[in-house]
């Protein structure tokens, strides 16, 4: 049935409103349309009646008419707003109805599409979409793992390149140093560059200091890098744990979603069945009603035929559903077996990853320990090697020993003199080659001669003691030892030299020696001997001045002093003291201490050897001279032993490190293999889990087919019964109708319950879907976090490389310093030595250049490999982005096809809902239109009343004004007549508009032209006397009938309202 729209109602309303307006416009006391009742009075009485009525209207009548008009206006205004609101509501109802019609059409189209074939096709699309989502998720994880592996490969190769670059830098530094050494040696050979060579030595020392600082910083950086890498690994472990937990959550929420989906399908099928029951029951009621009414015979017979066909079709569908269920159960069993196998593989792969990771961590720790142990062993070995290479010896010939002993121990003076002369004569032939070996360990220690520490003095004293003991051992005299007091004694002597600012040209400062001896209560020389520079303990030698000295320089000075004591040819007193061949020193130990001074009063520096015999200590007046021997760890025997031990330890540590690094590499390969296997196993598990479970849907389909068959059978039964009922009597038909209505009510009740249960199931499914989506999102986020943690570069190898580079730089700087110092020493060498040094330097340069070329080739190869890995990394990163986009697209498509499938499966329900909504919208529209029509009629009534009230007010106010005007004229006439009766001349008083408001008698003594009378906005003017019409009593009748006009008007209005009521009924 077509629905009358809002426009139709509004058009009708316009016609009615126009009628009301026309009535108002014609006026109450004028004529109306020809087809209505004539309202006017007989012409011959109207004028007299009006005159009579006007004379009786009061102000109260006007006020009443005004109040009635205001009330009517307000009522119309309010009703117009009501009509506007109702019209708006009707427009909205019309729009809702149009939309409901469109929804019904769409639902009907969906029902037409909801064939078993289309539903099966939509289900296949959903299955395919779910598989695509699973595949996209797997592809994303694979891409992320690929990126992580590629990034790790880039990071590892970057470390290799950094290490190779460091090696190149070190080799280049070696080449530069070797080239500089060649240049220095060439300059020495050419006799040039002395100042530059000395400056180079100073620069080399500064480089050593700087390199030491860099090593310290690199060691600190290595500690920080190791901490950062530990934090990185912890972050990776945490992220991996989060990924594992997220995977478990995805699995559990997916299972829950599958279960909730199956439940939702089942409750939806039940609701659909109940909806079909309601439709069947409703149709049965309609059929029974038609049978009772004696109609619908053809429809009943057609229904019987259709129900037989439908029952046969539903029976076939049931058989197909049973077969499909069996196939689904078999497929799900295979799916579960595949999942179990894949899960077992994942568990085993996880265990392998865990064990290989533990092994990798242990091997990494072992490799790090082995590498650090190797570094320590290399450092220890280097120190020991430097000590070993710097073992200094002084060897005396047998003739020298014999003659030196005889010069002091022969029985007669003549024999002693003869031995001394022979010694002097053969001195040059008997003295050994001068060979001092500097120690690189000492080159980096800068010293101040006048401010040597006790530790430095002790080390120097032990060095001197070893050289002296070598001589004494050959001679056969007692050895020297070093104690804290022997060092302290030497320190006090040198301090006294400095206090005295002694000039070394005067010889020994015996006063300084004796003062120091007195501190320990040792014997001192007499005052006379003291003045002559004689004392018991000191051997002193002059030294060349140096701008900067190291411990190596001081040891060289000690060696040089002892060598000169023994072999200069005129130092035999010192030689005998050093050799210990004097009677007092031959059998008892002597306590040795060494000190240095640099005095401004002298042209050269000095080294002081203080030897205190054991008998002096025993006879000392004080008991404060310590005789506790300080062990000398730098004797040739001990240095050799330490060197051999360090060498063996280095070889062992090198082998251990090589083994540990190989084990680490193998463990890393095993871990990488385990990770790859785990990724593959997880991918297989994901693929197995992504296969859609078929049994729940097949069960739902079977249940739906069974229900449909049952309904078809019930339909057939009812259709056959309807045919039988066509011939039943009226009571049987009525009973059948009542029974059908009861069945309908029961079906509607069951439908309501089924709808409630389905609503709960659908909400549970939606919640499960949300939980699954959140789990997938959390998995993606956790995977991103893991990838990000894995992408953090490992810092320890680079820090180790930096430390190794810094150590190499320090080593090179120390070697450069040795070479620079050697260059300074070589300035005075002969030409052959200089040429040999130059040739050696060139050979070293050639070797270093070859090493540099090899390192550069290795660097180029590793850089090319890094570039290749970086090029491979970029596509994998792009693949991750593409994989993420594919996941989003696949999920969107899954949502789309799932929605379509759900709509197909619920098509009958959606159609019923749409039809119900359309019916509701139609009823609401009709109700809105009826309300609009009702309110428009109310508005028309109020507008008619408003027009009538306006007419009454206009007539009443006009009549009242006419009466007032007549009274005013009468008053003026009375004033005028009274002045005339007095025989005076009336003078008119007018207001600003020229209207006469009063009269007064003319005063003969007043100049009329110049006088004015003012009173409350009224100007009195003398005007020519106007002729005023005299109103006689006969023209103003006073009848006392005040209500005659109102009565007439009321009668007119009642007539109009009556006609309106008649017209409304006609309309």
Pairing of strands 996-1001, 986-991: antiparallel
Residue bearing the bigger pLDDT, 12 or 968 = 968
> Taking the CB of residue 745, how many other CB atoms lie within 10 A of it?
13
Percent pLDDT > 70 in the chain is 87
Once rounded to an integer, what is the mean pLDDT over residues 445-451?
A: 92
Domain end residue (candidates: 600, 629, 658): 629
**Nearest residue to 882 (alpha-carbon basis) of 144, 152, 132:** 144
Helices (H), 191-296: 194-293
As a whole number of angstroms, the distance between CA 134 and CA 129 comes to 9
- Say yes or no to pLDDT of 665 above 60: yes
Indicate the range of 5-19, 669-683, 859-873, 953-967 predicted with least confidence. Answer: 5-19
Once rounded to an integer, what is the mean pLDDT over residues 418-447?
A: 92
How far does Cα 268 stand from its chain's mean position?
43
Which own/partner contact pairs does 60-66 have at CB distance under 8 Å and 24+ positions apart? Answer: 61/956, 61/960, 61/1042, 61/1046, 62/953, 62/956, 62/957, 62/960, 65/949, 65/952, 65/953, 65/956, 65/957, 66/953, 66/957
Indicate the range of 29-33, 274-278, 421-425, 998-1002 predicted with least confidence. Answer: 29-33
Q: What is the pLDDT of residue 828?
A: 61
pLDDT band of residue 68 (cuts 50, 70, 90) is very high
Longest dimension (CA), the chain: 202
Domain end residue (candidates: 573, 596, 629): 629
Helix pair angle (454-475, 484-500), 10° resolution: 110
Indicate the range of 58-62, 85-89, 672-676 predicted with least confidence. Answer: 58-62
Question: Is residue 620 a part of any domain in this protein?
Answer: yes
As a whole number of angstroms, the distance between CA 915 and CA 931 comes to 24
- Say yes or no to pLDDT of 60 above 50: yes
Q: Do residues 453 and 404 touch, judged by C-beta distance below 8 A? A: no
As a whole number of angstroms, the distance between CA 903 and CA 519 comes to 113
Domain end residue (candidates: 629, 646, 678): 629
Question: Is residue 284 a part of any domain in this protein?
Answer: no
Helix pair angle (636-690, 116-190), 10° resolution: 160
What is the residue-wise DSSP string for 448-517?
Answer: -GGG--HHHHHHHHHHHHHHHHHHHHHHTPPPEE--HHHHHHHHHHHHHHHHHT--GGG---HHHHHHHH
As a whole number of angstroms, the distance between CA 703 and CA 241 comes to 43
Helices (H), 726-830: 730-791, 796-826
Q: Which two tokens stand for residue 161?
A: 């390149």
Q: Do residues 356 and 647 touch, judged by C-beta distance below 8 A? A: no
pLDDT band of residue 444 (cuts 50, 70, 90) is confident
- Say yes or no to pLDDT of 834 above 80: no
Question: Is residue 21 a part of any domain in this protein?
Answer: yes
As a whole number of angstroms, the distance between CA 407 and CA 574 comes to 13
Q: Which two tokens stand for residue 401?
A: 């020993």
> Taking the CB of residue 311, how many other CB atoms lie within 10 A of it?
20
Question: In b/e form, how buried is each residue of 463-483, taking b as 16+ CB within 10 angstroms?
Answer: bbbbbbbbbbebbebbebbbb
pLDDT digits (tens, 9 = 90+) for 778-801: 988 998 898 888 888 888 878 887
**Nearest residue to 846 (alpha-carbon basis) of 342, 270, 293, 179:** 179
Q: What is the pLDDT of residue 3?
A: 59
Question: Is residue 146 a part of any domain in this protein?
Answer: no
Instruction: Please name the helix (run of DSSP H) or strand (run of DSSP E) that holds residue 1020, with its range, or none.
Output: strand 1018-1020
Once rounded to an integer, what is the mean pLDDT over residues 662-675?
A: 94
Once rounded to an integer, what is the mean pLDDT over residues 408-426?
A: 91
Q: What is the pLDDT of residue 751?
A: 92
pLDDT digits (tens, 9 = 90+) for 607-639: 999 999 999 999 999 999 999 999 999 999 999
Q: Do residues 973 and 1028 touch, judged by C-beta distance below 8 A? A: yes
Q: What is the pLDDT of residue 1051?
A: 54
Q: What is the pLDDT of residue 641?
A: 97
Taking all residues of the chain, what is their mean pLDDT, rounded to a whole number? 84
**Residue 81 burial (CB < 10 Å; 0-12/13-18/19+)?**
exposed
Listed in sequence order, the residues at least 6 apart from 807 whose beta carbon sits closer than 8 Å to its beta carbon are 215, 218, 375
**Phi and psi at residue 51, to the nearest 5°:** -60, -40
Question: Is residue 490 a part of any domain in this protein?
Answer: yes
Q: What is the pLDDT of residue 39?
A: 35
As a whole number of angstroms, the distance between CA 910 and CA 317 comes to 23
Percent pLDDT > 90 in the chain is 50
pLDDT digits (tens, 9 = 90+) for 17-58: 544 454 444 444 433 333 433 333 434 444 444 454 555 789
Once rounded to an integer, what is the mean pLDDT over residues 460-482?
A: 96
Q: Do residues 606 and 540 touch, judged by C-beta distance below 8 A? A: yes
- Say yes or no to pLDDT of 296 above 80: no
3-state class (DSSP) for residue 5: coil
Question: Is residue 1062 a part of any domain in this protein?
Answer: yes
Q: What is the pLDDT of residue 824?
A: 74
- Say yes or no to pLDDT of 845 above 80: yes
Looking up tokens 């119309």, which residue turns up? 76
pLDDT digits (tens, 9 = 90+) for 71-82: 999 999 999 999
As a whole number of angstroms, the distance between CA 754 and CA 752 comes to 5
Tally of domains within the chain: 2
DSSP letter, residue 692:
P
The most confident of the ranges 142-151, 186-195, 221-230, 821-830 is 221-230
Q: What is the pLDDT of residue 679?
A: 92
Listed in sequence order, the residues at least 6 apart from 149 whose beta carbon sits closer than 8 Å to its beta carbon are 672, 675, 676
pTM above 0.85, yes or no: no
Q: What is the pLDDT of residue 320?
A: 93
pLDDT digits (tens, 9 = 90+) for 335-372: 999 999 999 999 999 999 999 999 999 999 999 999 99
Question: Is residue 941 a part of any domain in this protein?
Answer: yes
pLDDT digits (tens, 9 = 90+) for 376-390: 999 999 999 999 999
User: Residue 489: which domain range?
Assistant: 483-629
Indicate the range of 189-198, 617-626, 660-669 predicted with least confidence. Answer: 189-198
Q: Do residues 494 and 597 touch, judged by C-beta distance below 8 A? A: yes
Once rounded to an integer, what is the mean pLDDT over residues 731-757?
A: 89
The most confident of the ranges 207-216, 643-652, 906-915 is 643-652
Question: Is residue 460 a part of any domain in this protein?
Answer: no
- Say yes or no to pLDDT of 1020 above 50: no
- Say yes or no to pLDDT of 583 above 60: no
As a whole number of angstroms, the distance between CA 848 and CA 819 comes to 15
Q: Do residues 820 and 201 touch, judged by C-beta distance below 8 A? A: yes
pLDDT digits (tens, 9 = 90+) for 214-264: 999 999 999 999 899 899 999 998 998 898 899 889 889 988 988 988 888
Q: What is the pLDDT of residue 325?
A: 92
- Say yes or no to pLDDT of 705 above 60: yes
Which own/partner contact pairs does 424-432 have at CB distance under 8 Å and 24+ positions apart? Answer: 424/569, 424/570, 426/399, 426/400, 427/567, 427/569, 428/569, 430/397, 430/399, 430/400, 430/403, 430/567, 431/400, 431/566, 431/567, 432/394, 432/395, 432/396, 432/397, 432/567
- Say yes or no to pLDDT of 736 above 50: yes
3-state class (DSSP) for residue 610: strand
Once rounded to an integer, what is the mean pLDDT over residues 1013-1022?
A: 41
């Amino acid at each position: 049935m077509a629905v009358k729209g809002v426009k139709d109602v509004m058009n009708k309303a316009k016609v009615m409103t126009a009628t009301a307006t026309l009535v108002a416009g014609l006026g109450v006391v004028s004529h109306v349309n020809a087809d209505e009742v004539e309202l006017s009075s007989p012409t011959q009485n109207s004028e007299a009646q009006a005159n009579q009525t006007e004379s009786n209207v009061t102000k109260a009548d006007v006020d009443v008419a005004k109040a009635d008009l205001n009330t009517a206006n307000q009522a119309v205004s309010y009703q117009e707003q009501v009509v506007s609101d109702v019209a708006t509501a009707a427009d909205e109802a019309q729009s809702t109805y149009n939309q409901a019609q469109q929804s019904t059409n769409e639902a009907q189209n969906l029902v037409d599409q909801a064939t078993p074939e289309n539903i099966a096709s939509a289900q296949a699309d959903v299955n395919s979409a779910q598989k695509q989502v699973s595949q996209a998720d797997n592809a994303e994880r694979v891409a992320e793992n690929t990126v992580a592996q590629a990034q790790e490969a880039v990071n590892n190769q970057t470390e290799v390149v950094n290490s190779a670059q460091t090696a190149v830098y070190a080799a280049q530094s070696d080449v530069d140093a070797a080239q500089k050494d060649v240049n220095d040696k060439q300059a020495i050979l050419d006799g040039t560059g002395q100042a530059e060579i000395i400056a180079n030595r100073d620069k080399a020392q500064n480089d050593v200091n700087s390199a030491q600082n860099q090593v310290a910083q690199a060691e600190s950086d290595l500690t920080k890098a190791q901490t950062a890498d530990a934090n990185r690994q912890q972050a990776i472990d945490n992220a991996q744990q989060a990924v594992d937990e997220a995977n478990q959550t995805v699995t559990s929420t997916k299972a829950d979603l599958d279960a909730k989906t199956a439940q939702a399908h089942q409750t939806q099928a039940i609701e659909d069945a109940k909806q079909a029951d309601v439709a069947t029951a409703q149709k049965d009621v309609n059929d029974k009603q038609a049978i009772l009414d004696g109609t619908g015979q053809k429809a009943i017979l057609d229904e019987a035929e259709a129900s037989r066909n439908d029952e046969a079709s539903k029976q076939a569908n049931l058989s197909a559903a049973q077969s499909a269920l069996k196939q689904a159960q078999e497929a799900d069993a295979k799916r579960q077996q595949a999942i179990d196998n894949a899960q077992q593989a994942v568990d085993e792969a996880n265990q392998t990853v865990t064990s290989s990771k533990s092994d990798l961590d242990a091997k990494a720790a072992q490799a790090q320990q082995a590498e650090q142990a190797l570094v320590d062993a290399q450092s220890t070995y280097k120190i020991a090697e430097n000590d070993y290479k710097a073992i200094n010896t002084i060897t005396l010939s047998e003739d020298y020993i014999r003659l030196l002993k005889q010069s002091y121990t022969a029985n007669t003076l003549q024999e002693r003199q003869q031995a001394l002369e022979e010694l002097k004569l053969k001195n040059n032939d008997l003295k050994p080659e001068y060979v001092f070996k500097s120690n690189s360990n000492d080159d980096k220690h800068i010293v101040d001669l006048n401010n040597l520490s006790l530790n430095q003095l002790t080390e120097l004293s032990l060095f001197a003691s070893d050289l002296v003991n070598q001589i004494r051992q050959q001679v056969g005299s007692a050895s020297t030892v070093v104690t804290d007091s022997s060092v302290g004694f030497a320190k006090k002597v040198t301090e006294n030299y400095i206090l005295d600012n002694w000039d070394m040209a005067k010889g020994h400062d015996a006063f300084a020696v004796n003062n120091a001896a007195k501190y320990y209560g040792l014997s001192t020389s007499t005052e006379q001997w003291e003045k002559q520079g004689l004392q018991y303990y000191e051997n002193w030698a002059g030294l060349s001045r140096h701008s900067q000295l190291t411990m190596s320089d001081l040891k060289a000075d000690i060696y040089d002093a002892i060598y000169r004591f023994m072999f200069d040819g005129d130092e035999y007193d010192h030689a005998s003291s050093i050799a210990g061949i004097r009677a007092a020193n031959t059998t008892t130990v002597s306590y040795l201490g060494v000190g240095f001074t640099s005095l401004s009063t002298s042209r050269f520096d000095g080294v002081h050897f203080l030897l205190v015999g054991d008998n002096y200590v025993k006879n000392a007046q004080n008991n404060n001279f310590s005789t506790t021997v300080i062990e000398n760890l730098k004797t040739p025997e001990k240095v050799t032993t330490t060197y051999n031990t360090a060498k063996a330890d280095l070889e062992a540590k090198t082998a251990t490190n090589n083994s540990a690094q190989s084990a680490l590499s193998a463990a890393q390969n095993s871990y990488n293999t385990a990770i790859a296997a785990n990724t593959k196993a997880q991918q297989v598990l994901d693929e197995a889990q992504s296969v859609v479970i078929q049994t729940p849907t097949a069960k739902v389909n079977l249940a739906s087919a069974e229900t449909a068959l049952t309904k078809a059978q019930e339909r057939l039964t009812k259709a056959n019964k309807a045919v039988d009922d066509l011939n039943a009597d009226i009571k049987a038909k009525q009973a059948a109708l009542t029974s059908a209505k009861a069945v309908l009510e029961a079906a509607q009740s069951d439908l309501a319950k089924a709808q409630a249960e389905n609503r709960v199931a659908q909400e549970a499914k939606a919640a499960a879907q949300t939980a699954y989506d959140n789990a997938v999102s959390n998995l993606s986020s956790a995977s991103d976090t893991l990838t990000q943690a894995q992408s953090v570069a490992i810092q320890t190898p680079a820090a180790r490389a930096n430390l190794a580079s810094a150590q190499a730089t320090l080593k090179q700087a120390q070697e450069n310093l040795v070479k620079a110092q050697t260059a300074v020493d070589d300035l005075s060498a002969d030409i052959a030595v200089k040429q040999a040094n130059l040739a050696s330097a060139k050979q070293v340069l050639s070797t270093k250049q070859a090493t540099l070329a090899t390192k550069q080739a290795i660097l180029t190869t590793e850089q090319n490999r890094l570039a290749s890995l970086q090029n491979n990394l970029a596509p994998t990163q792009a693949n991750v982005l593409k994989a993420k986009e594919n996941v989003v697209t696949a999920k969107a498509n899954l949502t789309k096809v799932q929605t379509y499938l759900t709509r197909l499966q619920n098509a009958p329900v959606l159609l019923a809902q749409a039809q119900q909504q359309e019916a509701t919208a139609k009823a609401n529209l009709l109700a809105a239109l009826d309300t609009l029509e009702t309110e428009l009629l109310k508005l028309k009534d109020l507008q008619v009343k408003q027009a009538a009230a306006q007419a009454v007010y206009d007539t009443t106010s006009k009549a009242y004004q006419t009466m007032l005007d007549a009274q005013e004229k009468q008053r003026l006439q009375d004033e005028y007549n009274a002045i005339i009766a007095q025989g005076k001349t009336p003078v008119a008083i007018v207001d600003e508009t020229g209207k006469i408001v009063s009269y007064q008698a003319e005063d003969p003594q007043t100049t009329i032209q110049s006088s004015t009378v003012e009173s409350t906005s009224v100007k009195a003017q003398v005007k020519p006397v106007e002729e005023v019409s005299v109103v006689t009593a006969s023209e103003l009748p006073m009848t006392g009938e005040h209500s005659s006009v109102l009565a007439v008007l009321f009668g007119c209005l009642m007539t109009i309202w009556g006609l309106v009521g008649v017209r409304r009924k006609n309309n």
